Amino acid sequence: MEQLPKMNLNELKDKIDSGKYILFFTADWCPDCSFIKPAMPEIEAEYKEYTFLTVDRDENIDLAAELSVMGIPSFIAFNNGEEIGRFVNKDRKTKKQVEEFIDSLN
């Protein structure tokens, strides 16, 4: 999974302008993020139509705020630069919940 470098919202929009993306907002200190991280390679392999980008919430705090991501771990899906769904809250997320979120996008 590609790690998103520090960037602002305009730079992000340029990057995700074409194709399907899922942004995974996380932080090293977050226990609920550590809970879902081991499942992410399986989820990524299951949904090959999406490019998954890991976003370090602390490194990209302004971007997270611009996207109204207050809790982590959180996921935002985009198709050709347009947001198509979000699973954003501060709760622990299971592999099944993340898969149900992605399935709901289609």
User: What average pLDDT values come out for the chain (106 residues) when binned by 10 residues?
Assistant: 94 96 96 95 97 96 94 96 92 94 93
Q: Could you tell me which residues come within 8 angstroms of residue 70 by beta carbon, excluding any fewer than 6 positions away?
A: 64, 88, 90
CATH number for the domain including 47?
3.40.30.10
Residue 81 lies in a domain: yes
Task: Quote the DSSP letter at residue 37.
Answer: G
Residue 37 lies in a domain: yes
Known catalytic residues? Answer: 30, 33
Residue 16 lies in a domain: yes
Sign of CA dihedral 86, 96, 54, 56: positive
| Host domain of residue 29 | 2-101
Domain tally, the chain: 1
Residue 106 lies in a domain: no
Residue 74 lies in a domain: yes
Query: Model-level pTM?
Result: 0.94
